[in-house]
């Protein structure tokens, strides 16, 4: 987030703290493409879009704050390291969203062995479209034979594989952001602060590679204590409901004072209940932290 803000302040990209994913009807795509024409990596692609026409972006969400994050000017040789990677991602994503769709030739085959039905799928990329600028989005080609209906095929062999399910790994920062967005906790502007807070307060530590969030003994003890005393304190619904109420206030569909009074009443009751049960939290902390 700091890198994205630094790019914005230096005039390379638009304001990064936005939740909007749709462009306004009067957004000047041509102006952005013209600013990229002299870029060593994106110039040819931007020129091709100007010459052959752009594809209308899919409609997203208009949060009413700022437009989606886009590049503002070319950055030939001026950025390095993480700044360059963030700029490249923003620029390639912008170009991809106004590019043509990718086209695949897909084949699906169903066949029977005895009474058991099996399915096999294959696909071949015909026209890369936006994948040309975002090659990591490409699905691997898988070519399979073309069979005719009611064909009889010899089975050369069968194999039964044995495997075991594995427990999930720790959430990465990106995973946690996805979950917070899914449950309506925080905004694009506040989510980075929430994550930094749980790191600063030693509830989780960062594990590389992948920046995984590993709960500490203190973090585990607090969550267990909350779940024993009042599970809602550790679940997303309460915070999510407050966020939704704030949205309703902003849209003029809820009364500010009524929402404030309701929230204060709810949390006062939770505070009183937690205060009466704080001994349980102290015992859990003593046990789990070996204090």
**Rounded to an integer, what distance in angstroms lies between the CA atom of residue 142 and that of residue 140?**
6
- CA nearest 72: which of 132, 21, 9, 129? 9
The catalytic position among 15, 104, 170, 226 is: 15
Handedness of CA 59, 60, 63, 66 (dihedral sign): negative
β-partners of residue 212 are: 172, 207
Q: How many CA atoms lie within 13 A of 168 on its CB side?
A: 7
DSSP assigned state of 162: -
Sign of CA dihedral 168, 170, 171, 173: negative
Output 22-28 pairs: Cβ under 8 A, ≥24 positions apart.
22/57, 22/59, 22/60, 22/61, 22/62, 22/68, 23/57, 23/67, 23/68, 24/62, 24/67, 27/67
Which residue is associated with the tokens 């594995």? Answer: 166
205-236 burial string, b = 16+ CB within 10 Å, else e?
Answer: eeeeeeebbebbeebebbebbbeebbeebeee
Contacts of residue 244, Cβ cutoff 8 Å, sequence gap at least 6: 184
Tell which residue, 198, 244, 240, 200, has the closest CA to residue 219: 198
- DSSP 8-state symbol, 169: -
Please confirm, yes or no, whether 15 is among the known catalytic residues: yes
| 118/181 Cα distance (integer angstroms) | 37
Which residues are marked as active site?
15
């Amino acid at each position: 987030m700091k890198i994205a803000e630094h790019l914005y302040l230096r005039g390379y990209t638009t304001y990064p703290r936005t939740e909007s994913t749709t462009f306004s009807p009067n957004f000047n795509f041509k102006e952005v493409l013209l600013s990229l024409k002299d870029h060593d990596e994106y110039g040819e692609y931007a020129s091709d879009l100007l010459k052959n026409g752009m594809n209308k972006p899919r409609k997203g969400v208009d949060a009413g704050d700022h437009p989606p994050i886009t590049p503002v000017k070319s950055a030939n040789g001026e950025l390095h390291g993480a700044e360059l990677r963030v700029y490249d991602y923003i620029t390639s994503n912008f170009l991809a969203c106004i590019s043509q769709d990718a086209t695949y030739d897909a084949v699906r085959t169903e066949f029977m062995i005895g009474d058991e039905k099996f399915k096999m799928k294959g696909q071949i990329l015909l026209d890369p479209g936006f994948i040309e600028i975002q090659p990591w989005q490409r699905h691997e080609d898988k070519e399979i034979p073309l069979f005719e209906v009611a064909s009889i095929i010899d089975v050369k062999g069968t194999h039964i594989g044995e495997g075991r399910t594995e427990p999930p790994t720790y959430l990465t920062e990106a995973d946690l952001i996805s979950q917070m967005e899914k449950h309506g906790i925080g905004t694009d502007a506040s989510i980075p602060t929430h994550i930094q807070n749980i790191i600063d307060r030693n509830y989780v530590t960062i594990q590389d590679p992948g920046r995984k969030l590993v709960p500490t003994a203190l973090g585990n003890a607090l969550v267990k204590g909350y779940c024993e005393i009042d599970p809602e304190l550790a679940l997303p619904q309460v915070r999510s409901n407050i966020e939704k109420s704030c949205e309703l206030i902003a849209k003029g569909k809820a009364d500010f004072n009524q929402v404030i009074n309701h929230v204060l009443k709810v949390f006062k009751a939770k505070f009183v209940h937690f205060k009466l049960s704080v001994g349980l939290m102290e015992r859990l902390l003593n046990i789990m932290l070996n204090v």
